[in-house]
Structure formats: structure tokens, C-alpha cells
Structure 1
Amino acid sequence: MKTSNVLVAAVVVTVSTLFTACVQDHQVPLIRVANVTLSPDQEVPPKNSPAMGTANVVFDRITHVMSYTVTWNNLTGNPIGSHIHGTAPRGRNAGIRHDFTTPLPKTTSGTFSNSVMVDGVAIKEDSLLAGFYYFNIHTPANPGGEIRGQIEF
């Protein structure tokens, strides 16, 4: 009887160890960020504007597609530029990595959805997951950017 209890315990420990190792090595396929705040105070330097916005982001680690919906309101003028910039942490500026100016509605308030490949060149997965990319909407009054929102997972 004691031998079978020891055997059962050994099997349970072995299976548990294998399961834990598999779970630890498995990457979560979908990572979601809801309500990334876009604001004038995140701009570098900060801007004086009544504008605000949000971005909902879904990154699929299997297909390497990042989908997003950006909503903005009260811009000082119609957008003249809209991009994802990187790589830079909060408080730093960086170059354009994904331009969505052309399809973005040219309105002071609106919503826009799109997606981009995390291709390892323009946008890199490790930098994305580390929070080094941000949304930016530019206006005539603020050509360097009126509202900005860091993409942080």
C-alpha cells in the first residue's frame, strides 16, 4: 500500500512539474491594452490644449498584427499628421514608425481603427512590449504633436 502511495505521489509531482514548465514557456497569444490615454501633457515639450484621446490596442503575438482604435476630441484644428512613433520611453521623442495620416478623418473629434504588422524592422515586438512606442496626433497649431499616448502593455 505504501509503495503505491509513493508511486502516485511521484507521478503527481512529475506531471505537475512538466505542466508548470510548459505553462511558463508558453507565450500568451493576445495582449490587450485598453484606454491608453492620449494627452497634451505627454507631448515633449507638453502642449497647452483642451484635446484628449484614447487608444485601444490588441497585439496578436501569433500573427504579429497590432490592431488599434484611436479616439480623439477637442483638437485645436484638423489633424495634419497621425503616427506611431518609436522607439522612445515617456518623456522622449522618436521617429515615425507607422503613418496613418492619409486615412485618418480630418476632424477635431473622431474615431479611427487600423492595424500594423509588428515586422521586427519598423516595429519590434520586444520594444513594443517594453512600452517604447507611442501614438501622436499633429495639428497646425501643434505641428510637432498635440496629443500623445504611450503604448504600454
Structure 2
Amino acid sequence: MLFFFFFFFSAKMVVKVKRVQTFGKKKTAVAVATVTNGKGHIKLNGKNLDLVEPYILRTKVYEPLWLIGQPKLKNLDIRIKVRGGGQTSQIYAIRQAIAKGIISYYQKYVDEATKKELKDSLLRYDRTLLVSDTRRCEPKKFGGKGARARFQKSYR
């Protein structure tokens, strides 16, 4: 019986999954994109990408996909998990994670020439698709309401 158990599980074929995991950041929002070979499905926190809210910023998420084009994406599955930050920061982190993930996948599993072509087109359109924005909120100091604003001074 034990012999049959080991024989049965050792006979299965192991399928190699091509997978790349990248991240995108904006302020305190972090999005992690997992790009695998598949059928062209794109999920965000387990839901379809068409359900991204707010509606106005949905086009920002689609920008890297439109720039790269449907033929290059039809056999890639992208799963994105995002947390932290606000709505706008999350949207910008998502689009960066998608763009970096596709570039990394093409570099690792396809060819360098196609990767360079994709990277150049993304950088020409918007540099923040691949390079993170390092600006952060300046911390508040004493003696005022904010980072730079001071309380009003009275002489009498």
C-alpha cells in the first residue's frame, strides 16, 4: 500500500510555471504583481480589473496595457495585490507594478530586444510607469500647524 502511494505521486508530471513577481510603490501604497503564463486574465485583489474604483482613474490602470498592446498580453496572466495609501496612490502603484511585471517577464522568459522595445515605449510615455516617485510628505514640526506654517506672532 505504501509503495503504491509513493509510486502514484512520483509518476505525475511537473509543469514548470513561468512566474515573475514585481512591486510598485506610491507614497505608502504598495502593489505586488505576479505575472505568469496563462490566458490573458488580469485580477486585482481577486476581482476583475473592470471593477476598479474610482471610475475616472480606471484609465490610469489601463495605460500600460494599452501601450504594450493586446498581442503581447494575450498569453500572460497578471494577479495584483494592493494595500496601504489612498485610492489615487493605489492606482499609481498598480500601474507601476503591472508595467514592471510585464517588462521583467519579457526579460526573463522571452527576449531582450522585445523587452527593450517595450521599456522604451513605456519610458517615452510616462517615466513613473517604471521608476518610483520618491517624494514623501514632510513631517510636522513644533511651533506651527504644519511642516512649514508657523503660528501667528502677537507683539501685545
Check whether TM > 0.5.
no
Structure 1 or 2: larger strand share? 1
TM-score between both structures, scaled by the size of structure 2:
0.27
